[in-house]
Amino acid sequence: MDGFSRLALVEGKLFLREKAALIGVFGLPVALVIGFGLIPGFSDPQKGLSDQIGTEYIAALGVAIVLASLGLTGVPMVLGQYRERGVLRRLGVTPVRPVALLLADLTVWAAAAVLSVAVLIAVVRIAFHVPAPVKPGWFILAVALGIASLFATGLLAASVAPTARGAAGIGWLLFFPNMFLAGIYFPTEEMSSTMRQIGNFTPLGSALHAVRDSWMGIDPRPEYLGIMAAWALVAGALAARFFRWDQA
Amino acid sequence: MTPVIEVTGLTKRYAGQAVVDGISFHVDRGEIFGILGPNGAGKTTAVECMEGLRRRDAGQVRILGLDPKTDGHRLHQRLGVQLQETQLQDKIKVGEALELYASFYPDPADWRELLDRWGLAGKRDTRFGKLSGGQKQRLFIALALVGNPEVVFLDELTAGLDPGARRATWDLIAQIRDSGVTVVLVSHFMDEVEELCDRVAILERGRIAALDTPAGLVDSAGGEYRMRFRPTAPLDEQSLAIVPGVTGVERHGAHVRVTGTGDFASAVTAELARRQVLVADLRIEGRSLDSAYVALTGRTMDT
């Protein structure tokens, strides 16, 4: 097995050893979906949710929570630690560059996100007869762009933070407003139009809209996809420019 | 034979201040080369410029004929490094770490054999975060060797090791050298450098204050050796004062103390033999690298 594959394998194992990460990425979204799904009548289309099936809506929220917790809290926390502990520096004196570890981690986390989304789709389908995303192509694109934009934002947080603690802190500071504006705490349908507009410009807000729409069978508005792509490119480019491999 | 490491005028500045200030030296194949100096002397910075972790501001570095600045990838395939103050992922297991690092190199060593040799076989499934300081240190040395390197840089090799483990580590480093590997040892332990190194550069404020074999450094620092013995027959101690190299003779009760330079001790014992005086309790107090260091740099290691 070559260096990169083994790095990805080891980082995958390390991810599975983090109980908090497993709860956040797999346990919490599934628990949320089951909890709401058991409410009588919630598996019918809901007037207040643009006629989306309640459980389907919660599953879309689950997808957004997975993307946000991995991208905005996981990415900066782990990379900040790897920099501070000298894990990245140590790789700098091997034939494998430190960037290999970063790519291995992004691969593992993206795989975890995709797996968690698949689990959510399966759970709501089997337990509550919610149909799988009606526009699978748009759905996959929405999830892919969501991963790209939120991971890039997390990378940027890791780039500008001086310490591991700082990186994790910036991650959490991004996490809660993003969750709020995206409509995780209460639906965008109940927001004022200004708030909704602001939410649309966040990567998580656009991701949630695009995921909800494609699940219901509506083509997501191009602006949602464009906003996510823009976040991915701009935050990604800034992160590439400012990322420091060494604490000193 | 071209040297394995050639450093010429290596300079590294931070905010205009030269931390490494034009140092030059070479290291031959199979040598253990020591870089000695107090904290802040620029040892680690110099070595990190050589390893390709930092970019030098001036000077030339060639390791195995490769420039770490432009040929880092090819160099790192043949280089083993133990860095100061790095950690691994907390939850990685010892065996996983070695197997992982082995996979980075084109011709790795058998990592299971390294586990045994560095006394980590019982820790194979232990997570990094659960290891003691000494176990972590031994793991880092094993990781430096897992790529079957031709050149190894060890920065503060025995930091965190207990005396027994230090001894054992020195023996293993000597074995590594005997297998033809060139070793660069950064240290601030005199005994370690004196025991292991073929040659030593003393670094002070970014410059090389002295460079020689440990014995050469001791000699060039001057000063005297002292021998002490108890003659078992009457001896006119002043007869020893004219022996070549002797600078002083004193009697302290039953004991005679002779000071001198160079090979005076053999001359004194020869003179005693010629006079058929047997001696008891013979002790020769050599000077250590420790005192030589103070003499050469005018200060102790801690300042």
Contact A10 B101 (CB under 8 A): no
pLDDT of B158 higher than 90: no
Burial class (CB in 10 A: 0-12, 13-18, 19+), B126: middle
- Which residue of B lies nearest to A82 if distances are taken between CA atoms? B89
pLDDT score, position B113: 95
Nearest-10 Cα torsion for B270, B275, B279, B284 = -30
Residues in B touching A93 (Cβ below 8 Å):
51-53, 76, 79, 81, 83
Half-sphere CA count of A103, side-chain side, radius 13 A:
10
pLDDT interval class at B302 (50, 70, 90): low
Nearest to A10 among B52, B76, B100 (CB): B100
A20 touching chain B per CB within 8 A: no
Cβ neighbours, 10 Å, residue A215: 28
Across the interface, of A3, A5, A85, the residue whose CB is closest to B87 is A85
The whole-angstrom separation of Cα A187 and Cα A191 is 7
Asked whether residue B192 carries a pLDDT value surpassing 50, the answer given is yes
State the ipTM, two decimals: 0.91
Burial (CB < 10 A; 0-12, 13-18, 19+), residue B24, is: middle
Which residues of chain A are within 8 Å of residue B92 when distances are taken between CB atoms?
A: 10, 14
Taking a C-beta distance cutoff of 8 angstroms, is the pair A25, B119 a contact? no
Across the range A215-230, mean pLDDT stands at 96
Q: How many CB atoms lie within 10 A of CB B235?
A: 17
**pLDDT, mean over chain B:** 89
State chain A's mean pLDDT as an integer.
94
Q: Specify whether the CB–CB gap between B152 and B81 falls below 8 A.
A: yes
Q: Which amino acid is at B181?
A: V
Q: Which of A133, A113, A132, A127 is nearest to A62 (CA)?
A: A113
Could you tell me the pTM of the whole model?
Answer: 0.86
Rounded mean pLDDT, A60-80: 96
Measured in angstroms, the CA of A22 and the nearest CA of chain B are apart by: 15
Q: Which of A113-122, A175-184, B274-283 shows the lowest per-residue confidence on average (mean pLDDT)?
A: B274-283
CB contact under 8 A, A93 and B51: yes
Q: Which residue has the tokens 């390390």?
A: A14
d(Cα B279, Cα B272) in Å, to the nearest integer? 8
The encoded tokens of residue B282 equal 């013979």
Lowest-pLDDT choice from B140-144, B150-154, B166-170, B214-218: B214-218
Strand order in the sheet with B58-63: B17-27, B5-14, B58-63
Residues of chain A contacting residue B105, judged by C-beta atoms under 8 Å apart: 94-95
Q: Mean per-residue pLDDT for B163-189?
A: 90
Is B101's CB within 8 Å of A18's CB?
A: no
**φ and ψ at B291, to 5 degrees?**
-70, -30
| Interchain pair B83, A93: CB under 8 A | yes
Cα distance from A68 to chain B (closest Cα, Å)? 23
pLDDT, tens digit, for every residue of A133-165? 999 999 999 999 999 999 999 999 999 998 999
What letter represents residue B178's amino acid?
D
Residue B21 has pLDDT above 60, yes or no: yes
C-alpha closest to that of B204 among B43, B75, B57: B43
Structure tokens that stand for A71 in this block: 């991208």
Average pLDDT over residues B239-268: 86
The helix/strand/coil state of B85 is: coil
Per-residue pLDDT tens over the stretch A29-48: 999 999 999 999 888 899 98
Percent of residues, chain B, with pLDDT higher than 70 = 95
Please tell me which residue, B296 or A199, carries the higher pLDDT value. Answer: A199
- Would you say residue B303 has pLDDT above 50? no
Return all residues near B167 (Cβ < 8 A) that are at least 6 apart: none
> Which pLDDT belongs to residue B299?
67
More confidently predicted of B221 and B107: B107
* The predicted structure's pLDDT at residue A248: 63
Contact between chains at B104 and A96 (C-beta distance less than 8 A): yes
Mean pLDDT score, A69-83? 95
Q: Give B237 or B209, the one with higher predicted confidence.
A: B209
Query: What's residue A58's pLDDT?
Result: 95
Q: Indicate the pLDDT class of residue B300, thresholds 50, 70 and 90.
A: low
